[in-house]
Structure 1
Amino acid sequence: MSEAPPPGVAAAAVPAAHMSVTPLPALPSLLPPWPGDQVPVRGGEVFVRTTPWTGPVDGPADDAPRERALYVHGLGGASTNWTDLAALLAVRFDGWALDLPGFGRSQPPARGRYSIAGHVRAVVDVLEHVARQPGEAAGQPVHLLGNSLGGLVSLLVASRRPDLVATLTLVSPAMPVYRVPPAFSRALLLLLVPGIPSLAARRMGGVAPEESVRAMIRMCFGEPRRVPPERIEQAVQEMRERAEQPWADAALVRSMRGLITSYLRVGAANAWRAARTLRPPTLVLWGARDKLVDPAMGPRLASVIPDARLHVLDRIGHLAMLEAPEETARAVLGMVETAAACREPDAATPPIMRR
């Protein structure tokens, strides 16, 4: 039902990503989250953090590229997942990172419906908001980056509204799979049973923030022991703040239910079919030690996207932008620089079409 390509596609069968040599700023050991504000979307508001453009590290800012990027986090994540990467990419981008409905500092969606379609609508609305902002690159397509659930959502956004998306970066996107381990499959399918998501949310509410963070690090990082203590404490504090929101656990469980439901879709709504229609230059990034989504999916996905490049990060897990922000930034900039070089020098990028 997933309409995925057969397994066994080798990484050598798809083009490798070009790594940029653009100088990047040095990051402090602990960068605080970027400030943000509420942005209206259909059915409510979402919280969006902004990272200002800095320009080149070692050159004049005059005539330097200044474009726009939007970052979309994964299941259980938040806009703060992009703090370091957004700081590095500020050499070229003004950045926006949203909290999907019900996550981070965003209110839950109307009637508590956490569907993939709802997340897609929220991202489209924020993209249009970003493009409307005054200044350089106003009205132009935006570079879209998504991780895990946010990667799946970003892929669907790019397939449905290519006029909004300049390039697409997919970091371990949660693509539909042919098969999963039987025990894992039964546990996930239980979430489709009425009443089970509410029970699961109540059980999750009893887990201490410290325990949740350490479990997340073990599951999502390729080298958990290398995570600095100050990063862990920052994550624990964020988890404590999230625990104070009455809808937090329901958002996680019901979004998982929405994700599973999306996997059962066929036809035009299927993510693998959507991947074949993508028009923007696309970068597929995967951690070789990803425990949540099989790294073998990377070359399979890149092989079906018309203009895709693949980069697999050694010793990295599910959150490459957190665990290896500099390598991730160089891959993203490499794609963007290559796409810019391929455009006609005198050809203006068409403005976004309203729909």
Structure 2
Amino acid sequence: MSILRRNNVRVTGRASGRTVVLVHGFGCDQNMWRLVEPVLAENFRVVLFDYVGAGRSDLSAWREARYSSLDGYARDVVEVCEALDLRDAVLVGHSVSAMVGVLARAAAPERIGSLVMVCPSPCYIDEDGYRGGFSAQDIDELLESLESNYLGWSAAMAPVIMGNPDRPELGEELTNSFCATDPEIARVFARTTFLSDSRKDLRGVTAPTLILECAQDAIAPPEVGAYVHSAIPGSRLVTLDATGHCPQLSAPEATASAISAFVSDLTP
């Protein structure tokens, strides 16, 4: 029970349905799934939680040494799955948590049977033959700005990440979510996120995998979705008619529909 309290775990939906675990990304918490969760809960058992350091998790359990790599977040995922004794669950990871899902699946394949990657990015920095969307200098400047003035960075970057200028309330919600995060915890998670390179980890993915990308995304351009799709044999790539990096908020119906269709198609 301590893990369930530590990560503020919540379970909804049909007890007899396949389990879907919704995992939030950087600067967010489980509340970011609130528009998708009720739709999924009609047919599936839905698990939501907050990473340690996010939302209503136990902040006293946060340790920089653990959360300075994606492995620390993957451990949170696996420990939640173990605490609930999940088997063959579908892990839905948003943004950096798509890669956390890859690591969690590798660590506990009996508990996580399938993956849904929402706006994934295995590497944010451009290299020869690979486009991640940012130069190394871009990332250095982004992290420097975040560390020197986190609240100012949040107010400037959240609307860009959300990417729906005609719906300013969405950018404001993401700004508020970022600002609710402890700046020191955000600093560590940001470095862990934007300096990570999980491309080699994709090669070992054998689980059924759905990749959801948005038609326009300033954080994960189309080349990234294509790369992830080509790296995972048999994966399914769906381009949502949506803008920005958070389709669970900007296009929740389409996001929930794509996830539901994928989960329903899985072998019982």
Shorter-chain TM-score bucket reads 0.7 to 0.9
Alpha-carbon separation, structure 2, partners of 1:329 and 1:53: 14
After superposition, the Cα gap between the structure-2 partners of 1:261 and 1:215, relative to the gap in structure 1 and judged at 3 Å, is closer
* Aligned counterpart, 1:30: none
* Aligned counterpart, 1:309: 236
**Alignment of structure 1 residues 72-221 onto 2, 5 Å:** 72-106=23-57, 107=59, 109-113=61-65, 114=67, 115-130=69-84, 132=85, 139-176=86-123, 177-179=125-127, 184-189=135-140, 200-201=146-147, 203-205=149-151, 207=152, 212=154, 215-216=157-158, 218-221=159-162
**2:126·2:136 contact (CA, 8 Å) conserved in 1?**
no
Give the residue type in structure 1 aligned to 2:218: K
Alpha-carbon separation, structure 2, partners of 1:220 and 1:324: 14
Give the residue type in structure 2 aligned to 1:165: I
Give the residue type in structure 2 aligned to 1:172: C
1:49 aligns with 2:3: no
After superposition, the Cα gap between the structure-2 partners of 1:233 and 1:181, relative to the gap in structure 1 and judged at 3 Å, is closer
Q: State the number of aligned residues.
A: 261
TM-score by length of 2: 0.83
Range 319-328 or range 109-118, more displaced: 109-118
Alpha-carbon separation, structure 2, partners of 1:160 and 1:273: 15
Question: What 5-or-longer segments of structure 1 have no aligned partner?
Answer: 1-37, 56-64, 133-138, 264-270, 344-355
Pick from 152, 167, 180 the counterpart of residue 226 of structure 1: 167
* Aligned counterpart, 2:204: 277
Bigger Rg, which one: 1
After superposition, the Cα gap between the structure-2 partners of 1:91 and 1:204, relative to the gap in structure 1 and judged at 3 Å, is same
Question: What 5-or-longer segments of structure 2 have no aligned partner?
Answer: none
After superposition, the Cα gap between the structure-2 partners of 1:261 and 1:336, relative to the gap in structure 1 and judged at 3 Å, is same
**Alignment of structure 1 residues 206-355 onto 2, 5 Å:** 207=152, 212=154, 215-216=157-158, 218-226=159-167, 229=169, 242=180, 248-263=182-197, 271-340=198-267
Q: Percent identity?
A: 26
**1:39·1:48 contact (CA, 8 Å) conserved in 2?**
no
**SS of match in other structure, 2:36:** helix
Alpha-carbon separation, structure 2, partners of 1:67 and 1:292: 31
The structure, 1 or 2, with the larger RCO (C-alpha pairs under 8 Å, 6+ apart) is 1
Alpha-carbon separation, structure 2, partners of 1:141 and 1:181: 31
TM-score by length of 1: 0.64
Alpha-carbon separation, structure 1, partners of 2:177 and 2:224: 31
**2:122·2:196 contact (CA, 8 Å) conserved in 1?**
no
Q: Return the offset for 1:261.
A: 4.5
After superposition, the Cα gap between the structure-2 partners of 1:142 and 1:312, relative to the gap in structure 1 and judged at 3 Å, is same
User: Can you list the C-alpha shifts for 1:297-326, whole angstroms capped at 9, x where unaligned?
Assistant: 112211221231000112421111111111
**SS of match in other structure, 2:243:** coil
User: Can you list the C-alpha shifts for 1:246-301, whole angstroms capped at 9, x where unaligned?
Assistant: xx1111111121234432xxxxxxx2232222222100000111101222211221
Q: Which 4+ residue blocks in structure 1 deviate beyond 6 angstroms? A: 180-183
Q: CA RMSD in A?
A: 3.1
Q: Return the offset for 1:111.
A: 3.5
User: Can you list the C-alpha shifts for 1:157-205, whole angstroms capped at 9, x where unaligned?
Assistant: 123322111221001113115437998522534799xxx7xx9445214
